[in-house]
Every structure is written in C-alpha cells, then in structure tokens.
Amino acid sequence: MSLQQRNVIKLILVERFGNVIADVGDIIFQNPSSLYTIVKSADIPLSKVKEALSVLIKYNLATFKLNTDAITAIYSLNVKNILLMLRFPKFINLIKAKFDESYEILVEEILLKGCLTASELIIKVTKRLQEQKNVNILLQELKDNFNSLITAKYVMRLSLQSLKVDELFLLPNIDLKEILAVLNGGNDTLPDAGVYWTINSDRFHQDLRDQLIVNSVTNKFDENMGELMRLLLQQMYVRTDPWVSSSNPIPILEVKEIVKKRNTHPQLVAFFEQYVAILEQDVTGIIRKVGEASGGSFQVEMKHIFTQLTWEAVEEIVNEKFDSKASRIFRLVKSRHYIEPEQIQNLVMIPAKEVKRILYMLLEENFLVVNELKRSATSLGPSKSFTLFHIRLTQVIRTMIELCFKTLYNIMMRRCHEKYLNKRLIDKKHRVDTITHGMRAQGISGDSVLDIEEMITPPENEILERIGKMMKKLSLTEIEIDDTMFLLEMYLMYE
C-alpha cells in the first residue's frame, strides 16, 4: 500500500479498462467505500459507477462486504489480482510451453474474460479455431483439455463462501450436444450455467517458481544438474504440499529410476550419484540429506533456496546500482553480519577513503544500517562507541519492491506518453491497415492497395518502426521487472 503501488494500479486499470474504471478503482484503493461515497467523491454518474464496479467484480479485481450498518455494501479493491494482470503474458507462455496451442487459447480466453462458464469458454474457443479443424473433434478435444487443466489445478471454480475447498476442482458437466446446438444457432440453457471458472494463480506461481529454481541451478551448475533439480521438484509434489518451506524427504532412488527410464541426459545417468553428492555438498544448501535408507532421501529446502536467490539478486542490484566495489563490501557485511568499518577496510582491499564513501552511500540508500554500541561508562578511551554495519534483508527487499513499482510506473507512463505523442500517426497507420485488410478480404489487389499503403510516407514508416521497437522494449522491460518482483515476493512469502 504505497503511492507507487497506487500509481501502477491506476495505470494498469487505465490501459485495460479505461478512465472511468480506473477512477473508481483509485477511490476504492484509497478507501474501501460504499456506492454512495464513490459517486460523491468520483463525480461520475451513478450508472457508470455501477457499471465500473460490476466490471471490476467480474474480473475479480474488487470485492464487497456488508457494512456494519447491515444495509450498504462496502467495496474494496483486490490489489493482488490487479498486479497479477502484468503476469498474464507469462502465464500464457507457460501453458504454451507445457501443453499445446489449444490449451493456450483456453487459458487466454479465461484471462480475457476474468471468469466464465465451461460451456461459454468452449463455444468461444471453438469459434476461434473452427476454421482449422472439424468442429466435432475440436469440441471433444477442448472438453478433454479443459478437464485436464482443472485436474492439474490451473483452473478453478470461482471461490464462493458456500464452496468447500475440495469442491473447487470438481469437473463440470459439459454437454457437447447442447453446445453444438448453441453453435448452430439454438439458445438452450446449458447444464453448467452458473458455474464460473477462473484461473488459479497459485498453481501458475508454483510453476514459475519451479522454473526459476531450475533455471538458477542450470546457470550455476550445468544442464544435467538442472534436469536433476527439475525431477527432484517433480517428485517432491508426490509427498509434499507445494508451498511448505522445506519438503518431505524424497527417496533418491525414485528420481534415479525416472532418469534411467527417460534417458534424456546420458551424463546424468552415468554420474547420477556424483551429481546428487555435488548438489548436496554445495555451500548453497539446496537439498539436505535426511536419511540413509534406500540410497538416501533428501529434502528440498525451498525457503533456503529463495533466501539464497534473493541475496544474490540484491547483491547484483547493488553491483549495478553502484559498482563492483560496493557489492564486494555489501557481501562482506552480509557474511560477517555485524562489522566495523576498520575491519572492512582491511578485508576488501579498497583504499580507506573509498571504503568510507561507499559505506555511507549504501547507508544513505538504505542498503545498510548502522548499529552503535556504547562502551561501558568506566572505560575511558578516545573512541567511546563501536560503529557496526549491518544488513536488514527484509527492509532492503521492501525498498527494492518499492523501487520496482516506481520503475514499473515510469516505464508504463513513458509508454503511454509515447503513444500519446504519436497518436495521430498510430491512428493513421491503423486506418490504413483496416482499409487494406478490407480490400484484400474483398479480393482487390494490385495497384489500388499499394496506393493506399503509400499514404504512409517513408519517414512516417521510419518513425512507426522506431515506436514499435520502443514499445517492444518497454513491454519486455515490464515483464523483466515483474520477474524481479516475483522473486522478491517469493522471499517475503517464505519469510
């Protein structure tokens, strides 16, 4: 709940839903309030506010609860879900990588609509894909795919208070004949009306988390070790709840069997024991041996992994924000917990003056804190107190998250601004594109299409290209910043 967060949220809402909804969202972000208060403070007509609220609720971006007077409802914003929208591209990409295109479109449609019934979803996707495939086969395929998404818990029922936890992933009753009838123009009520489905962000996060861990391990060691880590995580879920800080023991023989059966990484098969030993002996302590039975069983130390990764990320941020000398000092303070400036000078091999400058710069930017310990009153010496430097990681991380929000806001703001500056040109390009597209659809080709296309002059084309590149860069950066935020959030969650 900060100013930066508020700015980012407002921009996300403006980009995706327009100004009215963003204004309403902003009001209930600051203060959960009743409809009357919203209308009063927003200066927007009642009907529009109602519409805005219903859209927000449909996308699960706002919730409401009964006021203490038991008559009015109090609306509040679902901040987490709004920020989640930045991660949607990643979710879609994840599904695409894991399954195939039809799954991807299913998930994409759910994300676009916020929530919808299974039949509605299947109808929508069928309409998009029916040109490529036979409708009957497609329907069956989509039904199966949707069911497997539910079984894998990527999709869940919209949670209502009356719903029990185990009912969240009950398979819906999908009648393909009825759906076919609707597709052909009938309007029967479908049997699963009223059962709405939405995505289960926790499940996606779990996958993103695993991906992050596997990638990190691959970076640090090699491909084979990454594969080992992936299989360890996969076997972890057999016995362990996905979000506990350290997993239940995993018998290593199980993993070995899988490695042998798959035989994708011959190196890993040949030196399986050695890889396990290296991973276990490494100072980073990713896995821990807990028992000798059946070739040894190991725990995956999730919390520990994220502490390690977060430390590294913060160190890297210090490295980039200041320089390698600063990150050296930062790491020294980390490893010694509390340390005096004189000791730092001796160990980091940097001139004393420079050390002092860096130390106080880090202090100013809140990466370090100073603890002053007073000597006892009896001792009389030139120095009456010790100055100890120290890092409070959680505090640093919260500062970093703020910085992420700030950066995100700046990037998004800049993108909006660039769009605004070149609005005329972009609109023109849009018009030309629609016209040429329409002409091609009508079967017109040749000179007349070229004439229309030439309405955009080469310099204009150049500018458009530049803007396109810029937008791409900005969007990519947004996703990258979200990566950092994801890592930091994971750390805070395990904390």
Partner 1 sequence: MQEEDSGEDNTFNEDSILELAKSKPNGISNNDIKNEIPNVLPEMWTKSVNKLLKAGTLELFKDKGVLLYKYKDPSTKTEVKGSDNEEKVVYKIIEEAGNKGIWIRDIRFKSNLNMTQLNKVLKSLETKKFIKAVKSVAASKKKVYMLYNLEPDSSVTGGAWYQDQDFESEFVDVLNQQCYRFLDGKREAAIKLGGGPLMCRNRSYASAHDVHKFISELGISKVQLSVDDIESILYTVVLDNKAERTVNPSGEYLYRAINPFLKSPGIVRTTCGICPIVDRCADSGLINPKSCKYLTDWLND
Q: Which residues bind partner 1 (CB under 8 A)?
A: 216-217, 219-222, 224-225, 267, 270-271, 274-275, 277-278, 283-284, 308-309, 312-313, 315-317, 319-321, 324, 327-328, 331-332, 335, 347-352, 354, 400, 403-404, 406-407, 409-411, 413-414, 417, 470, 473-474, 477, 479-484, 487
Residue 231's H or E segment, with its range, is: helix 223-239
> Minimum distance between the CB of residue 57 and partner 1, rounded to whole angstroms?
30
> Minimum distance between the CB of residue 468 and partner 1, rounded to whole angstroms?
12
> Minimum distance between the CB of residue 312 and partner 1, rounded to whole angstroms?
5
- Which one-letter amino acid corresponds to residue 206? Q
Q: Which is nearer to partner 1, 240 or 407 (CB)?
A: 407
- Which one-letter amino acid corresponds to residue 13? L
On the 0-12 / 13-18 / 19+ scale of CB atoms within 10 A, 443 is exposed
Alpha carbon 187 to its chain centroid, in Å, reads 39
Q: Which is nearer to partner 1, 196 or 409 (CB)?
A: 409
> Minimum distance between the CB of residue 121 and partner 1, rounded to whole angstroms?
32
Beta partners for residue 155, in sequence order: 199
Nearest residue to 495 (alpha-carbon basis) of 398, 387, 364? 398
DSSP 196: E
Q: Which is nearer to partner 1, 220 or 303 (CB)?
A: 220
Alpha carbon 287 to its chain centroid, in Å, reads 25
Q: Which is nearer to partner 1, 165 or 283 (CB)?
A: 283
SS (H, E, C) 480-492: HHHHHHHHHHHHH
> Minimum distance between the CB of residue 416 and partner 1, rounded to whole angstroms?
9
On the 0-12 / 13-18 / 19+ scale of CB atoms within 10 A, 132 is exposed
> Minimum distance between the CB of residue 483 and partner 1, rounded to whole angstroms?
5
Q: Which is nearer to partner 1, 214 or 250 (CB)?
A: 214
Written as six digits, the tokens of 471 are 């937008």
Q: Which is nearer to partner 1, 119 or 308 (CB)?
A: 308
> Minimum distance between the CB of residue 277 and partner 1, rounded to whole angstroms?
6
- Which one-letter amino acid corresponds to residue 115? C
> Minimum distance between the CB of residue 485 and partner 1, rounded to whole angstroms?
8
Q: Which is nearer to partner 1, 325 or 428 (CB)?
A: 325
How far apart, in whole angstroms, are the C-alpha atoms of residue 267 and residue 113?
46
Q: Which is nearer to partner 1, 100 or 316 (CB)?
A: 316
Asked whether 263 and 315 are in contact (CB, 8 A), the reply is no
Phi/psi at 117 (nearest 5 deg)?
A: -80, 160
